[in-house]
């Protein structure tokens, strides 16, 4: 046995920190904030213990809680007072995100990112304008509540891609005009980054960065978020526009495309089941890489912690550290406040 190599020499107290390769800082973390126009009081999100939907009047207070932990950035999601077929409350000047962002940016120093999508604003819960066959199926289903299960869309595309781009661009511009510092398109429409970039530039917001949900998988780990943001599809699923979890090489093509369209930050979502993809994007691109440690990744640790099966605080730290080690510079996580509070 070759005993010249004894890695334990560097695991002793005093030297462990000197040779540590990865450090998690509060400034790496982005906390999601849910603002809900349908409520006057804070509503706990059952499947995400510790998180709440807050009314617009509480948005500043909620962000101040985040800032008090040392986390400096938030990503804002909205639940509108009403939904329609096209999701028009997404780009309304007096929409829930616009009102909240106006207050947050006026009254706090938080760096404010907004999620740009339509699924929380459309009655059907899809991330864009419905294709006609999908709409017929849906209307049939609505008029006959006896029809069970997810309506099929004839194998066709659920959402019309190009018609959706204009609505996403309008939404992004309205967020920036309300004060958003960065916009993050998440609908997975082809061309969404280019469409936002062009619209922002045209409106004189050429200095506002776009964080692309470049690599977003059709994941079972989004479940609790759909409770939080009330954005579950009324029928069908999102496999026609989100990525197949089987595909890693395709992720490079997605990131390449978004980089070419002007993305400033490239995101991978979810994080933990896709650390290989985070590492690949880190290696192949020199852009900052973001990873979204999603609601299901949060809920499973919290649930196991509540049962006493593992230590939720320590396992959360280890999870988020692993996301950074894989190559993420920015980490969106529901653990942001917990982790920031526990940092030395």
CB of 103 vs Zn ion, minimal distance in Å: 24
Nearest to 216 by CA among 159, 290, 287: 290
Is 307 marked active-site? no
Task: Give whichever of 105 and 242 is closer to Zn ion, judged by the CB atom.
Answer: 242
Q: Is the dihedral of CA 216, 91, 296, 182 positive or negative?
A: positive
| Smallest separation (angstroms) from Zn ion to the CB of 118 | 6
- In sequence order, what DSSP letters do the residues of 103-116 get, joined into one string? HHHHH---EEEEEE
| 61 phi, psi to nearest 5 deg | -60, -40
Q: Which is nearer to Zn ion, 127 or 332 (CB)?
A: 127
Q: What is the distance between the alpha carbons of residues 272 and 41, in angstroms, rounded to a whole number? A: 33
Annotated catalytic residue 269? yes
Residue in 83, 160, 269, 307 annotated catalytic: 269
Name 215's Cβ contacts closer than 8 Å, sequence gap at least 6.
243, 251, 254, 255, 266, 267, 268, 269, 274, 277, 281
Give whichever of 124 and 324 is closer to Zn ion, judged by the CB atom. Answer: 124
Which of 55/231 has CB closer to Zn ion? 231
Least distance in angstroms from the C-beta of 122 to Zn ion:
9
Q: Looking at 83, 160, 216, 302, which residue is catalytic?
A: 216
Q: In whole angstroms, what is the distance from residue 194 CA to residue 321 CA? A: 32
Shortest approach of Zn ion to residue 24 CB, angstroms? 29
Residue with tokens 């996301």: 323
Strand partners of residue 77: 34
User: What is the contact surface with Zn ion in residues (CB under 5 A)?
Assistant: 117, 119, 127, 187
Q: Are 74 and 104 in contact (CB under 8 A)?
A: yes
For 64, what's the count of Cα atoms within 13 Å in the CB-facing half-sphere? 9
212/340 with CB nearer Zn ion: 212
CB of 83 to Zn ion, least distance (A): 13
Q: Which residues are catalytic?
A: 216, 269
């Amino acid at each position: 046995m070759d005993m010249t190599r004894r890695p334990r020499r560097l695991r002793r107290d005093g030297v462990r920190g000197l040779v540590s390769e990865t450090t998690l800082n509060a400034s790496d973390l982005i906390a999601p904030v849910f603002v809900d126009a349908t409520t006057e009081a804070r509503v706990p999100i059952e499947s995400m213990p510790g998180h709440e939907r807050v009314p617009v009047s509480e948005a500043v207070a909620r962000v101040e809680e985040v800032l008090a932990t040392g986390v400096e950035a938030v990503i804002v999601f909205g639940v509108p007072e009403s939904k329609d077929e096209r999701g028009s409350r997404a780009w309304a000047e007096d929409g829930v995100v616009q009102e909240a962002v106006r207050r947050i940016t006026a009254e706090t120093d938080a760096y404010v990112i907004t999620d740009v999508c339509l699924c929380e604003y459309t009655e059907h819960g899809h991330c864009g304008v419905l294709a006609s066959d999908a709409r017929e199926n849906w209307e049939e289903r609505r008029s006959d509540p006896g029809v069970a299960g997810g309506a099929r869309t004839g194998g066709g595309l659920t959402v019309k891609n190009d018609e959706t781009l204009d609505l996403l661009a309008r939404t992004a511009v309205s967020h920036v005009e309300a004060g958003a510092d960065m916009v993050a398109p998440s609908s997975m429409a082809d061309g969404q980054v280019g469409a936002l970039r062009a619209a922002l530039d045209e409106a004189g917001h050429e200095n506002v960065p776009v964080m692309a949900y470049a690599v977003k998988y059709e994941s079972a780990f989004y479940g609790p978020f759909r409770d939080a943001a009330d954005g579950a599809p009324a029928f069908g699923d999102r496999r026609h526009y989100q990525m197949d979890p089987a595909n890693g090489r395709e992720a490079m093509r997605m990131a390449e495309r978004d980089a070419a369209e002007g993305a400033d930050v490239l995101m991978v979502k979810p994080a933990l089941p896709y650390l290989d993809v985070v590492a690949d994007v880190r290696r192949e691109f020199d852009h900052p890489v973001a990873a979204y440690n999603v609601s299901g990744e949060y809920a499973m640790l919290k649930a196991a912690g509540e049962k006493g099966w593992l230590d939720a605080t320590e396992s959360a730290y280890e999870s988020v550290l692993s996301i950074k080690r894989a190559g993420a510079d920015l980490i969106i996580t529901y653990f942001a406040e917990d982790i920031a509070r526990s940092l030395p």
